[in-house]
Amino acid sequence: MHDFAKDLLVALMIGAEVFAIAALWPLSEWAVSAPRRTGFAVALVAIAACVFLCTLGQVPPLVRPGTWRWALGQVLGWSPLPLFLALPDAVCVASGQSLARAGLPPRYARATALLVGAVAVAVAPVATIMAGCGLAGACL
């Protein structure tokens, strides 16, 4: 890959991560304002996919190259980056929705959702590397 293309890709990833972090504030307010089943379900699916990719990376491959399962693994190899860019936002929405449904006042639910989203921002890069290298067969 050309150096300019690599630099452009890195700049786009940094911009996407900054946008995901900036979206935490309005998403936390959106999550605690009213119960939204679709938003909660999408957030849980995104979180489950991230956890699945991290655990899938630690399992030894059980398929041979050329099979449809191997092709599925190749497609999954492109998914960690967008999924883990969305992880902090998904965690923020899921925690805000669940805390609001549990009866926590909106102010505290929003603050807790922001805090949990900030922790997910710190965890996302490590989890992306773990999932990516595991899918490539290079982890531990």
- In the 3-class helix/strand/coil scheme, how is 92-111 assigned residue by residue? HHHHHHHHHHCCCCHHHHHH
Per-residue pLDDT tens, the chain, 140 aa: give them. Answer: 567 777 777 777 777 777 777 888 888 888 888 888 898 999 999 888 888 877 765 665 556 667 776 676 667 667 777 888 888 889 999 999 999 989 889 999 999 998 998 888 888 877 777 776 666 665 55
Instruction: Provide the number of structural domains found in the chain.
Output: 1
Is the pTM here over 0.85, yes or no? Answer: no
> 3-state SS of the chain: helix, strand, coil percent to 5?
80, 0, 20
CA distance 116 to 96: 9
Residue 23 belongs to domain spanning: 3-136
Query: Which of 115, 98, 99, 118 lies closest to 20, judged by CA?
Result: 118
CB 66 within 8 A of CB 72: no
CA distance 105 to 99: 8
The letter for the amino acid at 17 is E
